[in-house]
Amino acid sequence: MGERIYSGVKKFSETSTDYSECRFRLDKKDFEYSKDEIKTVRFKGGTRHGFVKSMICKALHDSGHVFLTEVEFSNGREADIYDASTDSVIEVESNCSPGDREKKLEDFGGSVQEVFITDPTEWPENFQEAYERASSEYTH
């Protein structure tokens, strides 16, 4: 298993859809969760934010990914989605300036392999088109 350690937090470089391996990854992270939260979509924010987030989570679920939503890391930062299968954070954020993006990368960069930031206002409103975009962008 390809894993690296940064600031005492393990980062995993290989994609996995094996539930046991993903649970191991979750247990090694610097946040708390319950097994009931796995693959459960929780929302904060507006309707558009929720729609895009649900499309991403559906695509992840359908591809066998193991994920958590609204995860609070030990540094106090909250991630919209933490994908244990790819060791990445997905943030759904509108009007995110380059400075905001850099801050988010700093906030999560030390504890995950990748940070994706997507603007929900740039997503299609059609269910099928949004699902296809989520699947093509986040289920690698």
Other beta carbons less than 10 A from residue 56's beta carbon? 31
Confidence of residue 2 (pLDDT cuts 50, 70, 90): very low
pLDDT, tens only, 30-87: 888 999 999 999 888 788 999 999 999 999 999 999 999 999 988 888 899 999 999 9
pLDDT in the model for residue 114: 86
Single-letter code of the amino acid located at 17? T
Handedness of CA 140, 16, 68, 76 (dihedral sign): negative
Q: How do residues 86-127 score in pLDDT, each as one tens digit?
A: 999 999 988 877 777 778 777 776 788 888 999 999 999 999
Domain 3-138 CATH class label:
alpha beta
Give strand ranges (E) for 7-136: 9-12, 67-72, 78-83, 88-92, 114-118
Q: What is the pLDDT of residue 9?
A: 67
On the question of pLDDT at 6 being above 50, the answer is no
- Would you state the structure tokens that stand for residue 62, as one six-digit string? 């359908």
d(CA 123, CA 43): 18
- Which residue in the block uniquely carries the two structure tokens 């939260």? 37
The Cα–Cα gap between 56 and 139 comes to 9
Please check whether residue 66 is in contact with residue 85, taking contact to mean a CB–CB distance below 8 angstroms: yes
